[in-house]
Every structure is written in structure tokens, then in C-alpha cells.
Chains A and B, each alone.
Chain A
Amino acid sequence: MSRPANTPLIAAGVAAVGALILVSTTVYKVDQRQQALVVRFGDPVAVVTTPGLHLKTPIDNVLRFDKRNIDLSANQEEVTAADQQKLVVDAFVRYRISDTRQFFRALGRESVARDRLDRIVNAALREQIGRADSGDVIAGKRAQIMAAIREEVARQVEASNLGIQIIDVRIKRADLPEPNQQAVYERMQTARKQEAAELRAIGDQQRKEIVATAYEEAEKIRGEADAQRAQLFASSFGRDPSFAAFYRSMQAYEQSMGRGDTTFVLSPDSDYFKYFQKGPGG
């Protein structure tokens, strides 16, 4: 605690504080997600894209920008397709700050960039969709149309030298406006009604077809039976038509009149009464 001992202590303290200040003004950190722009009195003097610790002069200012793939959702727009059909289109853009210096000069902040991009994307959407039929936007050529929009946006961004790289532009939704939706619902309903009617008619037709086919087959079977019967009778009764007639008559008499509900008024002259009348000599 002697006097001479204090002097180096103070000196060391001053040196330490000085070193701290120096380090804090000359060393800066850049995150993996970021890129930095070193600005000296408003003038961008260096672009730093490698993350880690870096050195600068104490008079420099460091601005950090995102290096990642950034999202921009375009506002929902009602766009008219080439066939005059209106579509509500919802798109999103993915971009990246590719040239920090240029980005800083042309746009400065991300919010400004969003406004610019939004306008460019909307114009491109209108132009490309305006050239296509609504059906193509919804269905067949959506991929091509998206590619065309992407190219268009990329071209314009390139031409405006914004320091931005367009990674992708995708149509998220392409829907019909509300009134047209109702029309679609009606069309779907009528189409379904038609389908239902057709199905019922087919059912009816099938039913008739099945029944008629069965009738046809049944009659064939019956005819076959009748034919077989005729053939059987012809082959047996045909051996002696006269006896067959007699035999068959006897059968018929018995079946038609022998059931107890017939009253016979007979003449004793009939053959049956031959002996009844004339006795055994008959």
C-alpha cells in the first residue's frame, strides 16, 4: 500500500478500460443467419457475408441484414383471366438479399423492400394470369404460369437492381370470387341430380332386363318341356291311334265326370246297360 505501488495499478486499470473500449468498437460479431454491411459516414465500405468475429475501425457502423430465405406474402388480389373469369389469387414470394450493398443503397430497409416487391409481384401476377384462361390457372398450366410469374418477377427485380434474388414465387390459392362460387355450387348440384336420375334409370333398366331375361329363359324351359311331352305322347300313343283315342277318352270321362258333381240322364239303350236290359244273353 505504498505510494509507488499505486501508480502501476492505476495504469493497468486505465489500460484495461481502454482495451475494453477498443475491443467493443472494433470487434463485431456476424451471425450465421446474417450478413453485415460496414458503413463509414453513410458510405458502405465493406460487405461481410462470412459469419464470425470481424474487425472494423471505431468510426465504422455495422448494419446487419438477413441472409436467409425470406418470405413475402402478397396481398390477395382479384385478377381477371383471359377468359374474363375473375379469380382471387393469393401468392407468396421467397427472396434473399443477394447484394447487401445494393440492397442498402436501393431500398435501405426490409419494409421498403417488401413494398417494392409486393408491387412487382402484383403486376406480374396480373400480367401472366391475364394471358391465361382461368381453367389453366386453376388446373393444367398452373406450374407453367407460376414459372412465368417467377421469371417475370426475377427479371424486373434484376432490372431494378435491388440487390435481391428471387428464389420462388408460388400461387398459393387461386379461387373463384364468392358469386362465382355459388354458380359452381349450383352447377355441381344440377350435375349431381342428373347423375342420380341416371343411376335410378339404370337401376330400372337393369331390373327390367333381368326380369325379361328370366322370362325368356323360363318360357324356353317350358317350351322344351311341352315339346318333350308331345314327343313322349307321340311315340307311345302313336303306336295305335284308335286305341289311344279310346284309352284317352276313358281317362277323360273319368277325370271330367267321375268326381261326384255330375248328374247323368242315361238311356237304358246304351252299351253299358246292354245286360241290364236284356239279361245275360245280351
Chain B
Amino acid sequence: MPWNDNAGPGPWGSPPPGDDKNDGGRNKSDPGRRPSGPPGVPPPPIDVSELVERVTERLRATFGGPGRGKAVMLGAGAVVGLWLLTGAYVVQPNQQGVVSTFGAYSRTSDPGLRYHLPWPVESVERVPVTSIQTLDIGGVPGAEVPAERLMLTGDENIVDLSFTVQWRVSDAGKYVFNVREPNGVLKDVAESAMREVVGKTALTPILTNGRGQVETQTRVLMQQVLDRYDIGVYIEGVRIQVANAPQPVVDAFRDVQRAAQNAQSAANVARGEAAQVIQQAKGYREQVVREAAGDAARFNQVYDQYKLAPAVTRERLYIETMQRVLANSNKVIVDNKGANAPVILPSDTFRSRAPAPTAAPAATDGVAR
């Protein structure tokens, strides 16, 4: 792995000249140590052959001219320079780099073009830190994991629940070094925390308005546990994706919803009827009172006139009424004085006349309504 890390940047990474000089300078104290580095001597075979060549060159130079020595030094410098170049690496904007020196954590580097001492001294691991990662528990739609979804609730019901955990690395060093398989830990902790919280909550709130609370409690609990593990992870949020009654009882739950709807609509219909009944009664009141008031007012008027001339008015009212009544009716006048014989009426006598128009109100003080 560190091999890969170093091989990558080598060819294209061109560190600033200052860097080069710096390390070139530092290198002068090193060369003795470098070939003595642990076995599997550095990278490619070219290096090895060059090393051999360099040694022979130097030996030759000892006995040869000073010009040769210069060439040898140049060649060696180039090799060392190439080796140093392999320490350059890039940390992407959403990452941090964790640098180890001989396996020991030494520093965390921020995004940009960075440098570490080349293999085998230092190596780097890049960890995404700012990007929020998601973990789905219970599967995603279409690929559910029933064993992860069915949970016992506090009132000993079963709920079918899937959720997502959003998390990010808050401390790259801890995340890399403290826990084995951090992603597996997250999943275990998420499941156990959610089940613990659901186990304390009744079914109905989980299905209806208590989801937010379950999410918050799970998030807090997860964070507590993970902090105890010192894993360097921050839980951004826990989101319940689906919370349903389990498949075998879904119909029964739907029926409850239907019943609630039915009750609601029955009440609505009843309210409509009630409004109608009351409206009708109010109409009745209006009608009855107004008519009575009208009748009374009319009577009062007539009565006032009547008092001025009682006999005349009475007589007149009688005759006018009779006139209107009889004008509209069939009439048979029988003088029954001394007429004991039965009266035979023509068969059409009792046929009603053409339906008379409703008696028009009398022009003046008639009594017709």
C-alpha cells in the first residue's frame, strides 16, 4: 500500500524547487542510511543497477580523474531526487490525509498538494471528512432486508422500519487508527441504538407523529456509544425512511384508518343535516312571526275602523265575505219552508268548478288572506 501511495505521485508530481533543494540538503546527511534501509530495497530495478553503477563509478572516481567524480555525484543526485519526488501527494478538498512515520501517526494534513518523506519512512492515508456519508439500515426500496426491519416496540407490537444514518468523519486519525472496521461498527451501533429506542416507544407514535423523537434519541444514543469507542465519527442525523405496520397486519391498520375516515364523514354529513334542520326552523320562525304580526296589524287596522261604526262594519264584512265565498261556489238555494219532498240535485252539482284562483286579497279591508 505505501508502495502504491508513493508510486502514484512520482511521475507527475513536481514539487517546488525550494522543496527540492531543501531535501537535497537534508539528504546529504542521509545517504549512508538510505541503502541500509530495511530489506526489499526501494523501487525499480533501474535503481539497483544504478546503485551498483554508482558504487563502481565512485570507486573508479577515487582512482580516476576529478571530472568523473562530478558525473557520479550528478547521477546519484538525480536518483535521490526522483526518490524524494515520490513523497508528493494530493489531498482532495473533501479529504484529510493521515500521515504515519514508520507506522506511527505523525500528523493530519489538509487539502492541497502535500509532501511526506518517501517510502519507507512515511506513508499517507486519505480519509473523506467533509462529505456526509449515508448508511441504510433495513435496505433500500426494492431490496429490503426484513431481518433488519422488524423491531419490537415498547408495547410489544412489531414495527416494520428502515432508516438512514448520515455521518461524517470528525477525526481522521481516530477513524483510521482506533477501531477495526469502522463501517461495521457504525452499522452495529445504529441497529442496536434504534432497537433500543424503538423498544422504549409505543407503536402508534412511531407510525405517526413520534418519529422525530425516535430519530433524535437514536442519534444521541449512537453518538454516545461511538464517542465511548473514540471512533472519530460524528452522526449528522438519523432519518426514518419507512415506518409501517408489518405486512400481516397492514390491512387491519388500513381498516382503522378507514374507520376514522368513516366516522369523520358521518359527522360531517350529520353536521350538514343539522345545519339544514336549524335553518328550516329559523325559516319557520320568521314565517310564523311575520305572518302573525301581519295578521295582528291588519286586524288592528280593521278593528280601529270597526270601533268607529261597529254595526255597519260588521254587516259589511259579513256581506262582502259571503259575496266572495258564494261567487266562487256552486249554489243551490232551497226554500225548505213547507218543502218536505227530497230535493234532487243534478248529478254535476258537486263537481267542482274550474280551480279557482286563490282568492285575491280584498281591495280594502276585506278579510281574505
Q: Name A's B-contacting residues (CB within 8 A).
A: 2, 5, 8-9, 12-13, 16, 19-20, 23-24, 27, 29-34, 50-53, 66, 68-71, 73, 92, 94, 135, 138-140, 142-143, 167-168, 170-176, 181-182, 184-185, 188-189, 192-193, 195-197, 199-200, 202-204, 206-211, 213-215, 217-222, 224-226, 228-229, 232-233, 235-237, 239-240, 243-244, 246-247, 250-251, 253-255, 257-269, 271-273
Contact = CB atoms under 8 A, between A and B. Distances in A.
Contacts of B141: none
B143 interface: no
What DSSP secondary structure best describes chain A's contact surface? Answer: helix
Given A232-B292, A259-B359, A268-B335, 20 more contacts: A20-B39, A29-B102, A69-B178, A139-B156, A176-B152, A185-B158, A188-B157, A196-B259, A197-B259, A199-B262, A219-B281, A224-B285, A225-B287, A239-B303, A254-B325, A258-B327, A260-B328, A264-B329, A264-B330, A266-B332
A75 to B, nearest CB: 15
16 contacts: A5-B59, A9-B59, A13-B55, A20-B39, A139-B200, A142-B196, A192-B249, A195-B256, A196-B258, A199-B263, A204-B263, A207-B269, A221-B278, A235-B296, A236-B297, A262-B330
A148 B307 CA distance: 107
Contacts of B234: none
Interface in B35-75: 35-39, 55, 59, 63
B338 interface: no
A66 to B, nearest CB: 6
A167 B39 CA distance: 38
B278 A218 contact: yes
Interface of B: 35-39, 55, 59, 63, 100-105, 150-154, 156-158, 176-181, 184-185, 188-189, 191-192, 195-196, 199-200, 225, 228-231, 245-246, 248-249, 252-253, 255-256, 258-260, 262-267, 269-271, 273-275, 277-278, 280-282, 284-289, 291-293, 295-297, 299-300, 302-303, 306-307, 310, 314, 317-319, 321-322, 324-337, 343, 349-350, 352-356, 358-359, 367-369
Given A70-B180, A226-B288, A94 B259 contact: no
B225 A170 contact: yes
A258 B103 contact: no
B35 A16 contact: yes
Given A185-B158, A185-B249, A71 B180 contact: yes
A197 B28 CA distance: 91
Nearest to B41: A20
A174 B153 CA distance: 11
Given A23-B36, A170-B192, A267-B333, A261 B249 contact: no
A139 B277 contact: no
Contacts of A181: 150, 158
Contact of B255 (A24, A70, A193): A193
Given A226-B288, A255-B369, A264-B326, A170 B105 contact: no
Contact of B263 (A30, A203, A224, A258): A203
Contacts of B100: 31-32, 51
A250 B158 contact: no
A215 B276 CA distance: 10
Contacts of B324: 254, 258
B296 A232 contact: yes
A185 B284 contact: no
Nearest to A173: B195
Contact of A232 (B231, B245, B289, B331): B289
A247 B367 contact: yes
A51 B228 CA distance: 23
Contact of B199 (A139, A250, A267): A139
Contacts of B355: 260-261
Contact of A247 (B195, B200, B317, B322): B317
A170 B189 contact: yes
B248 A185 contact: yes
A19 to B, nearest CB: 5
The 7 closest A-B pairs by CB, nearest first: A203-B263, A214-B274, A260-B356, A218-B281, A51-B104, A225-B285, A192-B252
Contact of A243 (B196, B229, B289, B303): B303
Contacts of A225: 284-289
Contacts of A195: 256, 259
B267 A260 contact: no
B278 A207 contact: no
Given A217-B278, A225-B288, A69 B180 contact: yes
A73 B143 CA distance: 24
Given A206-B263, A250-B321, A266-B331, A243 B306 contact: yes
Contacts of B196: 142-143, 171
B282 to A, nearest CB: 6
A5 B64 CA distance: 12
Nearest to B272: A210
A188 to B, nearest CB: 5
A173 B161 CA distance: 14
Nearest to B195: A173
A243 B311 CA distance: 11
Contact of B103 (A24, A31, A199): A31
Contacts of B200: 139-140, 142
Contacts of B188: 71, 73, 92, 170, 172
Given A196-B255, A261-B352, A203 B262 contact: yes
Contacts of A143: 196
Contact of B195 (A20, A174, A235): A174
A264 B343 CA distance: 13
